[in-house]
Structure 1
Amino acid sequence: MDFQEMATDRLELVQIEKHHAKSFFDIMSRDEVAKYYGMSSLNELDEAESIIESFRQTFESGRGIRWGIVVKETGAFIGTVGLNNLNLKGKKAEIGFELHPSYWNKGYVSEAVKEVLAYCFGQLGLFRLGAVTFPENGASIALLQKLGFEKEGRLRAYLYQNNRSHDAFIFSLLADEGTKSANKDISL
């Protein structure tokens, strides 16, 4: 499978390369971002480079896809959106995203996620998309629900971060539901 770059009105969804490492580090070194990512904040640039390399390896193995979110107007790399636990035969994956705090509440994540949903249900032919989030992550939960994701339940001690286990909520969106939500006007 070739990497599919995409574009929306305001964004480009691009393959994340080593030259994005400094911007990615700037995002992931922030406690307010990493606290809901399932890992500790980054401390060194080489950690960002390693994660970017893992995105490449995950894509090449067919287990996931991660796009960089770039603002068309400025060229700023502001976050990522992607698929984890991709299973094309099983027609399912989990979606995840993070964004630099300077760009929160401007509708960028919903714009990017809607494009990824259309790609997943259209080109990839997936039937189910899941999303796992910390129960305290109100902004992500609100976005998922506005996009039509349904809360399925709580996963006990599912995430391990900062030397302790945390519960997580699991959400899902099915293909026939995703078609409807891709047309919604969401402004988170």
Structure 2
Amino acid sequence: MSAVYFLAQIRITDSNLYQKYLDKCDDIFSRCNGKYLAVDSAPEILEGNWKYSKSVLIEFPNREDFKEWYYSDDYQEILKYRLSGAACDTILVFGKEQKPGNKILIRTERLTIKPITLADASAMFEYRTKEEIFLFQTFKPGTLHEIEDFIRNSTTGFNEEGRWFQLGIFHNSTMIGDIGIHFIGPENSQCEIGYTIHPVYQKKGYGKESVIGVVNYLFKVLQKHRITASTDPQNTASIALLESLGFRKEGLFKRSLLIDGNWEDDLIYAILAEEWEYQVN
């Protein structure tokens, strides 16, 4: 959702009436999510014939916040003073929607969650090659080079439909795990998540804390509609984590995944944005 910008070009004709508008404007404005970007009574004229005596530029996070301000009863009550005391041209400009790129940074009470880099390859290799991690993973690296390729292939295209993006989970600057996000349709409105915690740091609540942080970001910042997670039916720890956060068991796909030449079952959990709002404040 893009920001919007309210631009007013003002030529004051009756300073007393315009002052009545100003006397109450800031109090009403302070109740909304708007932000003054510029208020200038002597702008530098670069081109054309400037007929105004004042320019005002205001930013709102979205069109709904702008409407809540502009069309409110309080603002409409004082607007008559501006319209009577000044000649105004106003427009609403829609900003270009910005993608977060690869600069995502999530902080929780104990953790920092951010994109992994090649500098994290050795730390990731150390826990991703342990037998207890292999038990429920499809990615089973055998060399550091495979980890490096994995990082290169999963740290571009954040929030692009069809892409997997991998984040590292850090505790006091130590990488203790990773969490992947698969951006899926329709219209990039859904995500699948997958998480891995170093065995040394398991059973300390770090997995749950990291999932809460990422899901909050996906729902509240990226405005996703639905988030799913796929797990092995025998992975009781992962199942317990998902169910503790309100994820619903949506289905069991029998022998649907081919892993190391064996057909394995796949258990799917999911939660909707409105359900997450209820489960976690």
TM (norm. structure 2) is 0.61
User: What secondary structure, in the 3-state scheme, does the structure 1 residue paired with 2:109 have?
Assistant: coil
Query: 1:38, 1:159 within 8 Å by CA — same for their partners in 2?
Result: no
Of residues 128, 133, 155, the one that matches 1:56 is 155
Report the counterpart of residue 186 of structure 1 in structure 2.
none
- Find the aligned partners of 2:257 and 2:157 in 1 and give their Cα distance: 20
Greater relative contact order (Cα 8 A, min sep 6): structure 1 or 2?
1
- Find the aligned partners of 1:141 and 1:174 in 2 and give their Cα distance: 17
Of residues 256, 261, 265, the one that matches 1:167 is 265
Shift of the alpha carbon at 1:82? 2.4
Letter of the 2:129 partner, please give it.
S
Identical counterparts, % of pairs = 32
Report the counterpart of residue 143 of structure 1 in structure 2.
241
Report the counterpart of residue 174 of structure 2 in structure 1.
76
Shift of the alpha carbon at 1:88? 7.1
Shift of the alpha carbon at 1:81? 1.2
TM (norm. structure 1) is 0.89
Shift of the alpha carbon at 1:61? 4.9
- Call closer, same or farther: CA 1:100–1:182 in 2, change over 3 Å: same
- Find the aligned partners of 1:67 and 1:55 in 2 and give their Cα distance: 9
Cα deviation, 1:12-69, whole Å, max 9, x if unaligned, reads 0011000000011111101211221223x32211011111111124538552332100
- Find the aligned partners of 1:61 and 1:171 in 2 and give their Cα distance: 22
Q: How does 1:1-188 map to 2 (within 5 A)?
A: 1=99, 2-3=101-102, 4-39=104-139, 41-57=140-156, 59=158, 61-62=160-161, 63-72=163-172, 75-87=173-185, 89-183=187-281
- Find the aligned partners of 1:60 and 1:115 in 2 and give their Cα distance: 16
User: What secondary structure, in the 3-state scheme, does the structure 2 residue paired with 1:148 have?
Assistant: coil
Letter of the 1:17 partner, please give it.
T
Query: 1:117, 1:182 within 8 Å by CA — same for their partners in 2?
Result: no
| Gaps in structure 1 of 5+ consecutive residues | 184-188
| Gaps in structure 2 of 5+ consecutive residues | 1-98
Shift of the alpha carbon at 1:157? 2.3
Q: What is the RMSD computed on CA atoms of the aligned residues?
A: 1.7
